[in-house]
Amino acid sequence: MKLLVTGTTGGIGGAVAEAALAAGHEVVAFNRADFAALADGAAEIPSGLDALVFATGCCPVASVAKTTDELLNETFRVNCGLFLALMRHIVSRRLNSPSGMRALAVSSISASEGWAGGAAYCASKGALSAMCRALSAELAPRGIAVSAIEPRHVRTRMFDACAGRMGAPASAATPPAALAAEILSALTR
């Protein structure tokens, strides 16, 4: 399977890339600098993609009084807009495999469970999950399956930065490797 993985410098994306390589899959790593190159028209994404895992994200923690328009816009840009830009690029250039493609976006349980200081993050993850449902309806006839996974808590640097506000102890968080195994299983079914 030829798999494009975003966020490979982070916990979830890195774990997915590592597990995919260990399973003998071809991994194309795509990170923040690559998104900037995509916007400039300089990014090269190979054709024949069988799968995409979008594991790019940010999790600002800010009270309502400190949640500025800029913070909200940047959170939506990273957590939703980059996924849409990548999907638009892949679909418009027909970079998916002729036999189809599975795209899976890593959302969060925060899409439906809020926590103090997480308004921008929770809203953006809810939007990402909803976007995946809309893209699924649109792209299924073209053989492109789009879905979101909403893990509860995954032990990453981002989780560590937000855990206190979420009310989640670190011991309750899933290791990234366990989620990566789940993701690869979902992609190869």
* Residues 106, 151 contacting (CB under 8 angstroms): yes
* Residue from 39, 53, 27, 19 nearest 146 by CA: 53
Cα 61 to Cα 56, 83, 91, 149, 154: the distances in Å are: 17, 21, 34, 22, 17
Q: What is the mean pLDDT of residues 142-158?
A: 80
Provide the pLDDT for residue 116. 86
Candidates 3.40.50.620, 3.40.710.10, 3.40.50.720, 3.40.50.2300; CATH matching 2-188: 3.40.50.720
How confident is the prediction for the chain on average, in pLDDT?
89
Give the β-pairing of 101-106 and 2-6.
Answer: unpaired
Catalogue the E-assigned strands of the chain.
2-6, 26-30, 51-54, 101-106, 144-149
The region of weakest confidence among 21-35, 60-74, 98-112, 145-159 is 145-159
The residues spanned by each domain of the chain are: 2-188
* Residues 116, 64 contacting (CB under 8 angstroms): no
Q: What is the mean pLDDT of residues 145-173?
A: 69
Residue that wins the pLDDT comparison between 145 and 151: 145
pLDDT over 80 at 111, yes or no = yes
Instruction: List pLDDT tens digits, range 161-184.
Output: 665 556 666 667 677 778 888 899
pLDDT over 90 at 61, yes or no = no
